[in-house]
């Protein structure tokens, strides 16, 4: 199959590289000439484990190319995937569809022969109808079917997720498009990935329902963690105790600083707006959004409490900036609210992240960046673990403590426990765990 991918970001680039690896002939298109120039020079503009090798080998085999020119890529394609961003619209939180509709217009002008246009971006219910309308209006002759195929990959494990998905969801109405989509995903039949073929609107809503459910699960355990702190229980053990129940499951029960990232915050908000507009509000998700927003700010207060009630004039070392490990993505990362909250309270912040510093720089003012965790802790009155990178899982706490102005650790990912930290003389505050002196 000949495939064009419009948008070569986290989703577009991973999808393109994986489709090429399946044996398809893929052209990745992006409007950003720097991104395409980097890719054509063999540099990967994002950090995603394994992506450099996957891209390099498929480029070498001649199955993967990059361009800013949408025309030829679309004209030759059997299927065109839209994988552009759908950020929150400023002001009302609804998904900003500018990029998707812009891509649809660009595609429409260049269609030749029967083509399946597939929306891979996360888009509100009804977007497929609108994409179809835009294409038919711009190019009434076009022989086209518009399909929804939401993406469920996770940054940091994106290639594995794409190649061994829990399921593939495809929303369409036409058997001809069905055949094309099945051909594209045929290599995954070997992995026995379940394919759910359903209506377009159902597929669109499935993506939002999935993300909202996961965000709810995280928020649930975060509130239980707060309760644990008040009543002297341990959230890690509560999570294990409920997670072993197969109806609940163990995943997404890690208490922490609140969910962030490029998907959950914007997708929960967009679902709330969609539901309000449809006259069928999702009150549970509305509450999840509000609780999570408050939580990120509350984490700065937690650090202030650990520092004895004030951080004015103190240096705080922040370990981890990205919203989760193994990515450089800083979009809506909890570290942004936490650091700003600490600065507002008068602290000076030093930060270290294995991959996120470059993306963090334009988003954070007045932060000193360190070269590693120990340099970050130097002279600090507290160290705050915000992201559970592997590099922070086995720190030499004696060495770290000796470098600090005060041995205080706020562990927002429960990487260490009170026993371990106190053994090295740290005053320790985790999430949802009994406090140690």
C-alpha span between 18 and 67 (Å, rounded) = 17
C-alpha span between 243 and 38 (Å, rounded) = 44
Residue 74 CB, shortest distance to ligand NAD, in Å, is 10
Nearer to ligand NAD, 207 or 315 (CB): 207
Contacting residue, 79, 111, 144, 153, with ligand NAD by CB under 6 A: 153
Mapped onto helix, strand or coil, the DSSP state of residue 371 is coil
Contacting residue, 9, 260, 334, 356, with ligand NAD by CB under 6 A: 9
Contacting residue, 18, 36, 51, 83, with ligand NAD by CB under 6 A: 83
- Residue 249 backbone class (left: φ over 0; alpha: ψ -120 to 50; beta: rest): left
C-alpha span between 347 and 250 (Å, rounded) = 37
Residue 56 CB, shortest distance to ligand NAD, in Å, is 20
Tokens representing 271 are 């679902």
Tokens representing 156 are 């940091």
Q: Does 156 bind ligand NAD (CB under 6 A)?
A: no
Q: Does 32 bind ligand NAD (CB under 6 A)?
A: yes
Residues 247-306 within binding reach of ligand NAD (CB under 6 A): 262-263
Q: Does 342 bind ligand NAD (CB under 6 A)?
A: no
Contacting residue, 5, 6, 20, 311, with ligand NAD by CB under 6 A: 6
Residue 186 CB, shortest distance to ligand NAD, in Å, is 22
Residue 162 CB, shortest distance to ligand NAD, in Å, is 10
Residue 282 CB, shortest distance to ligand NAD, in Å, is 18
- Stretch of residues binding ligand NAD (CB under 6 A), selected from 148-156, 185-193, 234-242, 354-362: 148-156
C-alpha span between 26 and 7 (Å, rounded) = 13
Residue 276 CB, shortest distance to ligand NAD, in Å, is 20
- Stretch of residues binding ligand NAD (CB under 6 A), selected from 30-38, 51-59, 292-300, 333-341: 30-38
Q: Does 31 bind ligand NAD (CB under 6 A)?
A: yes
Residues contacting 189, CB < 8 A, separation 6+: none
State which residue has the least CB distance to ligand NAD. 9
C-alpha span between 432 and 48 (Å, rounded) = 31
Show the site string, 111-130: x = touches ligand NAD by CB under 6 A, - = not: ----------xx--------
Q: Are 286 and 327 in contact (CB under 8 A)?
A: no
Residues contacting 386, CB < 8 A, separation 6+: 257, 318, 319, 320, 321, 334, 335, 338, 412, 413
Helix, strand, coil in percent for the chain, rounding step 5: 45, 15, 40
- Stretch of residues binding ligand NAD (CB under 6 A), selected from 8-16, 132-140, 312-320, 359-367: 8-16
**27 beta partners:** 4, 65
If 0-12 CB within 10 Å is exposed, 13-18 middle and 19+ buried, where does residue 244 land?
exposed
**66 beta partners:** 28
Residue 228 falls in the annotated catalytic set: no
Can you list the positions of beta strands (E) in 1-68? 2-6, 25-29, 64-67
Q: Does 356 bind ligand NAD (CB under 6 A)?
A: no
Residue 63 CB, shortest distance to ligand NAD, in Å, is 20
Tokens representing 187 are 């290599």
Nearer to ligand NAD, 267 or 388 (CB): 267
Residues in the chain, overall count: 437
Of the listed 18, 263, 307, 376, which one is catalytic? 263
Count of residues that bind ligand NAD according to CB under 6 A? 27
Site of interaction with ligand NAD (CB under 6 A): 6-12, 29-32, 35, 83-86, 99, 102-103, 106, 121-122, 151, 153, 155, 262-263
As annotated, the active-site residues are: 263
């Amino acid at each position: 199959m000949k495939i064009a991918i419009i948008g070569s970001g986290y989703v577009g680039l991973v999808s393109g590289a994986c489709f090429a690896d399946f044996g398809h002939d893929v052209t990745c298109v992006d409007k950003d000439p720097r991104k395409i120039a980097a890719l054509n020079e063999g540099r990967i503009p994002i950090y995603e484990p394994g992506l450099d090798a996957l891209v390099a080998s498929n480029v070498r085999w001649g199955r993967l190319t990059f361009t800013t020119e949408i025309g030829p890529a679309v004209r030759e394609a059997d299927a065109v995937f839209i994988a552009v961003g759908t950020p929150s619209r400023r002001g009302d939180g609804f998904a900003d569809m500018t990029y998707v509709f812009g891509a649809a217009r660009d595609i429409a002008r260049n269609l030749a022969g029967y083509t399946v246009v597939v929306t891979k971006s996360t888009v509100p219910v009804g977007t497929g109808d609108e994409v179809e309308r835009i294409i038919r209006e711009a190019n009434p002759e076009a022989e086209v079917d518009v399909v929804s195929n939401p993406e469920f990959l996770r940054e940091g494990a994106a290639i594995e997720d794409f190649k061994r998905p829990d399921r593939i969801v495809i929303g369409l109405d036409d058997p001809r498009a069905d055949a094309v989509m099945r051909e594209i995903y045929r290599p995954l039949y070997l992995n026995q990935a379940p394919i759910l073929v359903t209506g377009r609107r159902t597929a669109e809503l499935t993506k939002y329902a999935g993300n909202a459910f996961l965000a709810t699960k995280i928020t649930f355990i975060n509130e239980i963690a707060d309760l644990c702190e008040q009543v002297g229980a341990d959230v890690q053990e509560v999570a294990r105790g409920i997670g072993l129940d197969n109806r609940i499951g163990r995943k997404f029960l890690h208490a922490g600083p609140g969910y962030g990232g490029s998907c959950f915050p914007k997708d929960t908000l967009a679902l709330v707006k969609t539901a309000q507009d449809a006259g069928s509000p999702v009150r549970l998700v509305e509450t999840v959004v509000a609780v999570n927003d408050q939580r990120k700010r509350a984490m700065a207060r937690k650090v202030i409490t650990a520092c004895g009630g004030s951080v004015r004039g103190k240096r705080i070392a922040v370990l981890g900036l990205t919203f989760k490990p193994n990515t450089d993505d800083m979009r809506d990362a909890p570290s942004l609210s936490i650091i700003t909250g600490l600065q507002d309270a008068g602290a000076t912040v030093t930060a270290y992240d294995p991959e996120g510093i470059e993306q963090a720089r334009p988003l954070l003012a007045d932060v000193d960046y360190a070269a590693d965790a120990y340099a970050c802790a130097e002279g600090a009155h507290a160290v705050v673990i915000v992201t559970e990178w592997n590099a922070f899982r086995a720190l030499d706490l004696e060495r770290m403590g000796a470098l600090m102005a005060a041995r205080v650790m706020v562990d927002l990912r429960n990487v260490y426990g009170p026993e371990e930290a106190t053994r090295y003389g740290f005053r320790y505050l985790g999430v949802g765990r009994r406090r140690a002196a």
